[in-house]
Amino acid sequence: MTFAELNLIKPLLTALTKKGYESPSPIQEKSIPHILQGKDIFGCAQTGTGKTAAFALPILQLMEQNKKPNQRKEIKALILAPTRELAIQISENFKEYGENLGFSHAIVFGGVSQFHQVAHIKKGIDILIATPGRLLDLMNQGYIKIHAVEYFVLDEADRMLDMGFINDMKKVIAKLPTKRQTLFFSATAAPDIMKLANTILQNPVSVAVNPVSSTASLIKQSVYFVEKNNKSALLKHILKTQKIDHVLIFTRTKRGADKVAKDLNAYNIKSEAIHGNKSQNARERALKGFKERTLNVLVATDIASRGIDVDKLTHVINYEIPEQAETYVHRIGRTGRAGESGEAISLCMHEELPYFKDIKKLIKKEIEEVKNHPFV
């Protein structure tokens, strides 16, 4: 199937061609026709399945088709995301897909001064992408009004709940018009997620792709078993001997991320860490450098990594094995996208073996053990 067969309008097809996209991903193929028909959606999909385009493209099309001459600018589409990084990613996608349509959008998130965000909103916008805390703050100050919203997207609802945003979300939802189209996306369909979805969706269509247990078949997975005090040396050995020049490395903690980046830099491997304690500017700068390949190695915690969407990323390394098996699937899904091959390498010490066993149980697949390395 092609995007043209989804009945998308020419300005969107032109933008997609410019990006080099020809065929929709499964979540796009399943969601776009229903959204264009005005239906609410419950989408069960992980990061990396193309879900941003699954809601951005039809929203832009519906807004274009329902546009009235000389209508005043007010927020017609509201997209709520759990992290700044994901909000920025969504904002970039709306900008790229909508470049031939002329809608204006703004992005608001905490951790930075609200001055520029407010100035942007005052000019008048059609689409707002926001994290819950800053959105509520600006609503309470009277800068943002959402009474005219026709399209509401709740993205990564599971992460919203994990991060304790449930009350903020409910306050925002209470201010939305009851007559609206709601698109709800989550990586899981846990009971608390379903409870939330049932309160805000009207006769939704459910679409699901890639259950969390399935890992991309194109990703080569391997594991090195190693003692704790040899992990850092093994990581340097892997990066050098395999000549890996573009890699996302995961740690469980902020301190761990900083230590890995510091150790690699001392070894003349240019690296930066991103996590919640870094300033917004530092995180954006590191992410930009990584995407543009002026920075080869990015070390991230799981929450900071949400929204990292890098084309043709060849390698992911789990420096520390995640405690939740599902997190492993999210992590390695950053590589092997859009039909490209990718490789996921895990460094596992004795204390992490129970986590590793949980991963194998979830993905129902053997992970190749690399035995002939100097740090066994």
Q: Which residues of 340-371 are buried (b: 16+ CB within 10 A; e: fewer)?
A: eebbbbbbbbeebeebbebbeebbeeebeeee
Integer angstrom CA distances of residue 174 from 41, 140, 259, 335: 19, 13, 43, 38
**Could you please report the per-residue DSSP string of 54-85?**
HHHHHHHHHHHHT--TTPPP---EEEE-SSHH
Residue 281: both structure tokens together: 């500017």
**What stretch of H or E contains 207?**
strand 205-208
> Measured between alpha carbons, how far is 146 from 139 in angstroms, rounded to an integer?
8
Other beta carbons within 10 angstroms of residue 176's beta carbon come to 17
Domain ranges of the chain: 4-208, 219-369
114-166 pLDDT per residue, tens: 999 999 999 999 999 999 999 999 999 999 999 999 999 999 998 888 788 88
Q: Which helix (H) or strand (E) holds 288?
A: helix 280-291
The tens place of each residue's pLDDT in the chain, 376 residues long, gives 889 899 999 999 999 998 888 889 888 999 999 999 999 999 988 766 788 999 999 999 999 999 888 778 899 999 999 988 889 989 999 999 999 998 999 999 998 899 999 999 999 999 999 999 999 999 999 999 999 999 999 999 988 887 888 899 999 999 999 999 999 998 877 788 888 999 999 999 999 876 555 555 678 999 999 999 999 999 999 999 998 889 999 999 889 999 999 999 999 999 999 887 887 788 888 888 998 889 999 999 887 666 577 777 889 999 999 988 878 887 888 887 655 678 999 999 999 999 999 998 888 888 999 988 888 7
pLDDT of residue 215: 56
Q: Which CATH class is domain 4-208?
A: alpha beta
Give yes or no on whether 4-208 and 219-369 have one common fold: yes
Tally of CA atoms within 13 A in the half-sphere of 43 that contains its CB: 30
- For domain 219-369, the CATH architecture is 3-Layer(aba) Sandwich (3.40)
